[in-house]
């Protein structure tokens, strides 16, 4: 018997074509951990209005970001799994996606059948929020196999140091007026109901700032991107913050996206195209993105060490256990 590690990322359409994107968005936007509106109200709106209008538009974005290896998010997640496996030769390391393939529940069951008597489930999201983590937890538990779920890793000193080093290198390579920490947004209502995400984003920024003393604190700001729908989300919104920075005379901006450990539609299309265009149209001069971890060897070593620590019980309350007996 051996220990397993399942890395879980958000997922991607099977192809950048409209039908595949529509299938992906239907699953993603039907998740009530993401969209909390009553199904009787939301589903007709989703299927009758949003999917017909949004699917083809999103497909054009996926086509712009698609590579010869397919979806960048999937390709980087696959590479992470391979590199972590190299660092844990006695483990069984695999990956799964919350939406799309491979499935979380099925992959965990296959790992048990292949000889894993216990598996560490590691969502590739540093900060916990219901909208990313709860569905992973629910589907992992549904496999009915013994698991340890790592709930977040934003607080890990090694992670914060790796992030700080990437930021410091990028800051030193340019002449910037501002550094923006842009996190993926969530509805304000989730935070009002107790979601710890905003608090953990604040703690991430503070931890990294303590490791980058060369960057003046008055040149660092936070924002939230990727707002969806009419309800209020966490503020300030990234696009508004970019325009505000230009008004303040800060026209050379470095952006880091700590919510994302791999390049994806949000970093490639939303930031490097749409938000870049907003910034330039407002009068900005330089808009540079700090690349995500993207399966960097040091980050993969961190993931391997984190899994070992969790397996030994060293993360304490930062993990959740599910000890159901394997199915036979």
- Beta strands 2-11 and 178-184: pairing type? unpaired
Note whether 71 and 268 are within 8 A (CB). no
Kindly report the number of other CB atoms within 10 A of residue 148's CB atom: 23
Residue 266 in marked binding region:
yes
Nearest-angstrom CA–CA distance, 218 and 290: 19
SS3 205: helix
Residue 214 in marked binding region:
no
Nearest-angstrom CA–CA distance, 167 and 249: 22
Nearest-angstrom CA–CA distance, 157 and 207: 8
Residue 210 in marked binding region:
no
Nearest-angstrom CA–CA distance, 301 and 307: 10
> What are the strands of the beta sheet with 92-99, ordered from one edge?
92-99, 2-11, 116-123, 147-150, 319-322
Note whether 109 and 140 are within 8 A (CB). no
End-to-end alpha carbon distance in the chain: 15
Cα–Cα distance list, 170 to 76, 255, 284 (Å): 21, 10, 18
211, 213, 215, 217: CA torsion to nearest 10: 100
Q: Which residues are annotated as a binding site?
A: 69, 184, 266
**Binding positions for Fe-coproporphyrin III:** 69
- Bind-site residues for Fe(2+): 184, 266
């Amino acid at each position: 018997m051996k220990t397993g590690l399942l890395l879980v990322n958000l997922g991607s359409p099977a192809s950048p074509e409209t039908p595949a994107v529509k299938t992906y968005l239907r699953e993603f936007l039907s998740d009530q951990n993401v969209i909390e509106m009553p199904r009787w109200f939301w589903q007709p709106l989703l299927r009758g209005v949003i999917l017909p209008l949004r699917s083809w538009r999103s497909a054009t974005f996926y086509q712009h970001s698609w590579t010869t290896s397919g979806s960048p998010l999937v390709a980087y997640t696959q590479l992470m799994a391979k590199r972590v496996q190299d660092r844990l030769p006695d483990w069984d390391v695999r990956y799964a996606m919350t939406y799309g393939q491979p499935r979380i529940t099925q992959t965990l069951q296959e790992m048990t059948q292949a000889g894993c008597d216990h598996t560490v489930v590691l969502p590739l999201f540093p900060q916990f929020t219901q909208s990313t983590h709860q569905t992973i937890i629910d589907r992992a538990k549904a496999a009915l196999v013994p698991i340890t779920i790592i709930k977040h890793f934003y607080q890990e000193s090694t992670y914060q140091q790796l992030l700080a080093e990437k930021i410091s290198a990028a800051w030193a390579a340019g002449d910037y007026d501002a550094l923006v920490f842009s996190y993926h947004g969530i509805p304000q209502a989730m935070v009002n109901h107790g979601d710890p995400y905003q608090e953990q984003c604040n703690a991430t920024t503070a931890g990294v700032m303590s490791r980058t003393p060369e960057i003046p604190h008055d040149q660092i700001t936070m924002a939230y991107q990727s707002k969806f729908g009419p309800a209020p989300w966490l503020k300030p919104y990234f696009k508004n913050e970019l325009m505000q920075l230009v008004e303040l005379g800060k026209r050379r901006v470095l952006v880091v996206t700590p919510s994302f450990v791999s390049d994806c539609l949000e970093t490639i299309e939303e930031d490097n195209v749409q938000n870049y265009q907003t910034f330039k149209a407002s009068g900005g001069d330089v808009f540079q993105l700090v690349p995500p971890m993207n399966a960097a060897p040091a980050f993969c070593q961190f993931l391997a060490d984190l899994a070992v620590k969790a397996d030994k019980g060293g993360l304490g309350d930062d993990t959740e256990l599910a000890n159901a007996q394997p199915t036979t």
